[in-house]
Amino acid sequence: MKLREADPQSQFRDELARVGKTIAPLRPDPRVIGRTAFDGPGSEDMTLTVLLARDRVKEAPSQSLLRIVSSDERRYLGIVDAGPFAEPDSLRAESPILTTVATQEVDYLPRYHGRLSVKLLGEELADGTLAPPRFRPLPNSAVYALEPEETAKVLKVDGDIRLGLATGHEELLVGIPSMSKNVLPRHTAILGTTGGGKSTTVAGLVRQASKAGMAVILLDVEGEYTFLHEPTRDARSVTLLADRGMAPAGVPTELMRLYHLVGRDTTNAAHPNLCPFSLQFARLSPYAAMAMMGCNEAQSDRYLVAYEIAKALLRKLGVFPQKDVSQEEADRQERILLRLDDFERGYPRMELSFLLDVVGACKAKVSSAKGKFEPFHKALKTQEGTAALDLEIKAADLPTHAGSWGKVHSLLWRLFRLKVFDKGATLRYAPMLEPGRVSVIDLSDAGLNVLSSIAVADVLTGIQEEQDRKYRQFEGGKGGPPPRVLVIVEEAHEFLGADRIAESSHLFDQVARLAKRGRKRWLSLALVTQLPQHLPRQVLAMCNNFVLHKLTDPHTISTLRQTVAGVDDSLWSRLPGLAPGQAVVSFGHMTRPVLTSIDPSASKLRMVD
Ligand SMILES: Nc1ncnc2c1ncn2[C@@H]1O[C@H](COP(=O)(O)OP(=O)(O)OP(=O)(O)O)[C@@H](O)[C@H]1O
Ligand SMILES: [Mg+2]
């Protein structure tokens, strides 16, 4: 065969004739930002690679949403979970020539394109619902970026309690819908290492929740939130706020109350609405008291014996139920006693010094050293009181062993010496539950850990009872609907830590009860801690919403992975590297968790060094 000199043009014509059809050049659709790539051996289900021209890369930042229209007409939604990466078109990224270009100041930049790893969120059905994908987009499918409004509709991250802006999206607000019973009342955990930005998140949450008309109660262990009524003056925060079109602002002063224990300091003694409060021993369940004081079995037995004697005496002396009251009131008080659950709270009007006297009298009876016992409590000092006490103690079949009685006595005495029980002004819960009210309970100077635990238990019981009362009234046709309540517990590991489960189990039970009733009663809890690994798993399991700031401990992350649903690998792997103020935010109303840049605090935080 004779070789002919190849004429390229005629060769091309011959080839076209052989193929038998001409294909019109692609008329590029300007909305298509890229195309799906072929799969390789490393391809995984639900993950796609998308290739894009260099000038389209900026349209698909990390975490942005994409629509993929497959050539088989199926439509999919996906999210950029890695990339965009820049890859040279015709050279290997690590080729020597590119190394030379980068290191020898050579004026040559080869052509390159973008590559994304996209996680499929689902297949979009004709009516817009997102279904689990049954197929995979075909290679070379067109990829579109979603408009901001559409992104907002898909992600459903909006809410009137503004938290911040979603990363990778234009001006996409991340918030919590304050009216939804399915979100906050299913409880929240705010987690992150020291300096991750938890307190800033909490400060914002408090102000925004109050603005949304919720009643907010904040158990402030370190006294960080005692200036929330003042706008921030921190120059950096002011600049960052302005960048988001926000201005410094405190919680309106008339809405904020700052509570602290009587005789104990607060970190802001100049607060305009300062409310010292004393603890009511009567609110404290005997079981909680014993656990928190660390009573052993022998001590607990004696404590409970004394407790029963004290109850009988209170009835006999007409302290509770009261003597000389109307029949209606007497009936009401009896009903209270019928409903009383020792595991939830103590006997009404039982003061610490009253029980201390009873224990003292018991100790005196079993002790060999005979001396006259002098009661302390005013009701027992009277002739009638002393006689009644004598009678009860004589009749009682007391466990022996003066040493154990002595120990119970000294444990109670230690509490008594703190001078915070039954000292007049107790916490009034009704005002705390007014819409918009912010009650900061400063426990920074509580000293003994047991004291803060007792205070927290007291507050939780009080709020729960008050909210129950409001619900009963409402259901009985009296009064409006009870307020939506948010209770925030800072340093939650200190109260609910797994290592302190013996002392804190009652507090845990109480929190669990509150959590369970919360949904019906519109009581929501937010637990804040830098040591989530110290929280028992049940505590995290109560929470349905999460704000995850920087977390570095791999063990903690792997534990959380079993609890928090819907956070994909790429977000988990980002947790250790998050900057202060960044968080993975996952709330019940959201389609999926979003990486969020939390707003700086508009109100003043007293930073703890
Ligand atoms: N949303 C934010 N925007 C800008 N900066 C922030 C943000 N959140 C935190 N920061 C910065 O990080 C610092 C620490 O934040 P913050 O006190 O809220 O952390 P934390 O997690 O409460 O720490 P700790 O565990 O010590 O209480 C702040 O002083 C601030 O500089
Ligand atoms: Mg903090």
pLDDT in tens, 268-300: 999 999 999 988 899 888 988 888 788 899 999
How confident is the model at residue 498, as a pLDDT?
A: 62
CA 432 – ligand 1 centroid, Å: 27
Ligand 1 pocket residue status of 581, Cβ below 6 Å: yes
Tokens of 61: 């930042």
How confident is the model at residue 362, as a pLDDT?
A: 93
- Between CA 18 and CA 207 the distance in angstroms is 74
> Which residue spans of the chain are classified as CATH 3.40.50.300?
161-279+421-598
User: For residue 194, which atom of ligand 1 is closest to its CA?
Assistant: 25
> Which of 50, 41, 79, 30 lies closest to 139 in space, CA to CA?
50
User: For residue 204, which atom of ligand 1 is closest to its CA?
Assistant: 1
CA nearest ligand 1 atom 31, residue: 580
How confident is the model at residue 54, as a pLDDT?
A: 85
> Which of 608, 581, 602, 463 lies closest to 525 in space, CA to CA?
463
Strand 161-166, strand 173-176: pairing? antiparallel
Q: Which ligand has the shortest distance to the CA of 530?
A: 1
- Between CA 160 and CA 587 the distance in angstroms is 13
Which H helix or E strand runs over 144?
strand 142-145
DSSP labels for 262-289? TTS--S-TT-TTEEEEBB-GGGS-HHHH
Q: In b/e form, how buried is each residue of 592-601, taking b as 16+ CB within 10 angstroms?
A: bbbbbbbbbb
Low-confidence ranges of the chain (pLDDT < 50): 1, 608-609
Q: 297-316 and 286-293 are packed helices; what angle lies between their axes, rounded to 10 degrees? A: 140
CA 579 – ligand 1 centroid, Å: 9
How confident is the model at residue 501, as a pLDDT?
A: 55
> Which residue spans of the chain are classified as CATH 2.40.30?
25-146
> Which of 461, 566, 568, 565 lies closest to 517 in space, CA to CA?
461
For 231, other C-beta atoms within 10 Å of its C-beta total 19
How confident is the model at residue 215, as a pLDDT?
A: 96
> Which of 114, 55, 53 lies closest to 82 in space, CA to CA?
114
Ligand 1 pocket residue status of 600, Cβ below 6 Å: yes
Mutate to test the pocket of ligand 1, among 163, 199, 608 (most ligand atoms within 8 A of CB): 199
Q: Report the SS3 class of residue 557.
A: helix
Q: Which ligand has the shortest distance to the CA of 225?
A: 2
How confident is the model at residue 609, as a pLDDT?
A: 38
How confident is the model at residue 39, as a pLDDT?
A: 83
Please tell me whether the overall predicted TM-score, pTM, comes out greater than 0.75 for this model. Answer: yes
- CATH number belonging to domain 25-146: 2.40.30
CA nearest ligand 1 atom 16, residue: 197
User: For residue 222, which atom of ligand 1 is closest to its CA?
Assistant: 27
Q: Model confidence over 238-269: pLDDT tens digits?
A: 999 999 999 999 999 999 999 998 888 899 99
Q: Which ligand has the shortest distance to the CA of 194?
A: 1
How confident is the model at residue 502, as a pLDDT?
A: 57
Q: 402-417 and 297-316 are packed helices; what angle lies between their axes, rounded to 10 degrees? A: 70
How confident is the model at residue 205, as a pLDDT?
A: 96
Q: Candidates 3.90.1150.10, 3.40.640.10, 3.40.50.300, 1.25.40.20; correct CATH number of 161-279+421-598?
A: 3.40.50.300
